[in-house]
Structure 1
Amino acid sequence: MQQRTLGHGGPQVGAVGLGCMSFAGVYGGTDLAESHRTLAAALELGVTHLDTALIYGNGLSEEVIGAFIKDHPGRFSIATKGGIRTQPTRSFDNSEAYLRECLEGSLRRLGVDHVDLYYIHRRDQTIPIEEVTGTLSRFVEEGKIGGIGYSEIAPASLERAAAVHPVRVVQSEYSLWTRLPELGMLQACARLGTAFVAFSPVGRGIFGETPLDPSAFSDKDFRKNNPRFVEPNYSANEAFVARLRDYARSRGWSVAALAIAWTLAKWEHVISIPGTRSPEHLATDASAADIALTAEDLAAIDAILPPGFAHGDRYSDAQALGPERYC
């Protein structure tokens, strides 16, 4: 597996990591055995970076990982996230007391005393980011975390945070149909020596081998009310993606591997974290690290999926609460 550096002083990890939200059943039912088979496959494939969070099943994803790494210590670089309250309603809390509570709980569920990376999952706009970064820097000093991360922030916020303490990683959605990070965040990360972790590089499943059936999504499925998967947007998007499938097959690639390879092709500081609960899908995803896209490939992909082609916003109004907007 191609190796990339996980930001300031961070470990070398596989260019393709694993997003672990699926272990909590967000995109359909799963069980502990299947999740552990996926983690075992990750070790065989060189997928060494795991990304989880407190709110993935209210700690379930962390517990699944913790049960596995108990018998496989030191094999993965682990990132987790905190700063979101879910009770009585969803809200953001970046206070030191709550972040410490979140972190201690995550460490307990994972069965470790240290994680390589700890993210603010969503910013609490009532607290200056400089203050929050100071809190995280104390966690670094205490040896509880290796580095600081922020999820879904704006480039200006990264600049402010980095003035207090190096920010190891910024995480945002980045894929063939979500290219906002190209309008400043990827450049800011490169300038500041911060790694960029791309989540949902397979477009929440749209860039799969076969078309999805949104009518079959369960009520708990994140995509159920997501604008890009609701008609007439879904049919318009699927028509574009069908042409990408034809191109991928003409080159002997899976469309998922091609989509992931695209996120890695132009920026050396990007690490891509497709999410799956299936060992077979993970093998396909990991093969993206072996695809070397040429300038001609990139031009052909842009012709098939022009920037901005997606019909519908990436989030509904309810889902859009939290990510910082820019540009």
Structure 2
Amino acid sequence: MQTRELGRNGRKIGAVALGTMNFVGTYGDADRRESLRCMAECLEMGVDHFDTSDVYGMGRAEQLLSEFLRDHRDRVVLASKCGITRNPERPFDNSPEYIRRSLEGSLKRLGVDHIDLYYLHRHEPGRPIEDVMDTLMRLRDEGKIGAIGLSEIAPSTLQRALAVGPVAAVQSEYSLWSRQPELGLVQACGRGGVALMAFSPVGRGVFASQLPEPTAFGPGDLRQGMPRFDPVNWSRNLPYLQAFNAYARDLGHSPATLAIAWLLSRGPQVLALPGSRSIAHMRENALGATISLSAQQLAQIEAILPVGWAHGPRYGEAMSKGPEAYC
């Protein structure tokens, strides 16, 4: 597993990380024992950065992760997030009181006294990012968190945050399925010495060896509300994905391996953050950090999946509230 810096002069971690949202049924039922086995296998493969949030399963992901951390805390670079309330009247809260209360709750559920990387999960509209940075930096100075992260922000917000203090990482959806970060965020992270943690690097399963069947999505599957999976858009997206799968097979790779190798080619500041409870899938994901693609191969991928190829927006109306728009 190749390693990359978690921010300028930050800790070196595996270029592929592990997201834990899938462990609490976001894409269907999850098995606790299978999830814990997946964590152990990931650690042995060099996937040593585990990412969670206080809203994944309303804290259940953190509680599950705490079971693994009891015996492996010294080997795991731990990240969690705050700022989403699940309150429809006030879905995002970045106040100092809420952030501190959220952090204390996460520390308790995780069974730790320190979180290595703590993210603002969503930036509350109308609250200056400078004020939020002040809050996070106070928590860092108290020793309760290590590095500071931001999620789903615009490049301009990152620029303002960096004027206040160091930001180690920014999370954003980024893959061959969703390339908006190329319109400024990838570049801003490179300039600022900030790691870009690309979540959903296999496109919420579209680059799996077996293509998803949207009509079979179970109750609670997050993808049911995503326009790219509705019948009309999916029928248009499917031929592109089939062509990419065929090219991956020609190269001797799984589609997920090739998709992550492509992502990691975007720059040394880019890291992949897939979420999976499947050991087999995580092996494919981790393999993406072991291969380098030639200029010819990258050009062929671009020809198969040109920028903007995906039909439909990545989020529906409800989920689009929170991520900052730009460009």
1:142-187 Cα offsets, whole Å, 9 max, x none, are 1111111110000000000100011111110000021111111111
Secondary structure at the aligned position of 2:74 is classed as coil
Q: How far apart in 1 are the matches of 2:180 and 2:77? A: 27
83-92 or 160-169: which moved more? 83-92
Secondary structure at the aligned position of 1:289 is classed as coil
Secondary structure at the aligned position of 1:85 is classed as coil
Which amino acid in the other structure matches residue 113 of structure 2? D
TM-score by length of 1: 0.98
Q: How far apart in 1 are the matches of 2:9 and 2:137? A: 14
Secondary structure at the aligned position of 2:29 is classed as coil
Q: CA RMSD in A?
A: 1.0
Question: CA 1:302–1:282 in structure 2 vs 1: closer, same or farther (change >3 Å)?
Answer: same
Q: Which residue of 2 aligns with 1:166?
A: 166
TM-score by length of 2: 0.98
Q: Which residue of 2 aligns with 1:260?
A: 260
Q: Which residue of 2 aligns with 1:87?
A: 87
Question: CA 1:318–1:178 in structure 2 vs 1: closer, same or farther (change >3 Å)?
Answer: same
Large movers: runs of 4+ above 3 Å: 87-90
Q: Which residue of 2 aligns with 1:46?
A: 46
Q: How far apart in 1 are the matches of 2:79 and 2:8? A: 14
Q: Which residue of 1 aligns with 2:20?
A: 20
Contact kept in structure 2, 1:10 and 1:146, CA below 8 Å: no
Contact kept in structure 1, 2:28 and 2:219, CA below 8 Å: no
Q: Which residue of 2 aligns with 1:235?
A: 235
The correspondence of residues 124-135 of structure 1 with structure 2, limited to 5 A, is 124-135=124-135
How far is 1:279 from its partner? 1.1
Which amino acid in the other structure matches residue 65 of structure 2? I
Q: Which residue of 2 aligns with 1:75?
A: 75
The correspondence of residues 1-327 of structure 1 with structure 2, limited to 5 A, is 1-87=1-87, 91-327=91-327
Which amino acid in the other structure matches residue 41 of structure 1? E
Could you list the runs of 5+ residues in structure 1 that have no partner in the other structure? none
Could you list the runs of 5+ residues in structure 2 that have no partner in the other structure? none
Contact kept in structure 2, 1:214 and 1:230, CA below 8 Å: yes
How far is 1:89 from its partner? 5.1
How far is 1:9 from its partner? 4.2
Identity of aligned residues (%): 53
Q: How far apart in 2 are the matches of 1:105 and 1:196? A: 26
How far is 1:71 from its partner? 1.6
Secondary structure at the aligned position of 1:73 is classed as helix
Q: How far apart in 1 are the matches of 2:88 and 2:326? A: 30
Q: How far apart in 1 are the matches of 2:42 and 2:90? A: 32
Secondary structure at the aligned position of 2:80 is classed as strand
Which amino acid in the other structure matches residue 242 of structure 1? Q
- Number of residue-to-residue matches in the alignment: 327
Contact kept in structure 2, 1:10 and 1:116, CA below 8 Å: no
How far is 1:10 from its partner? 2.5
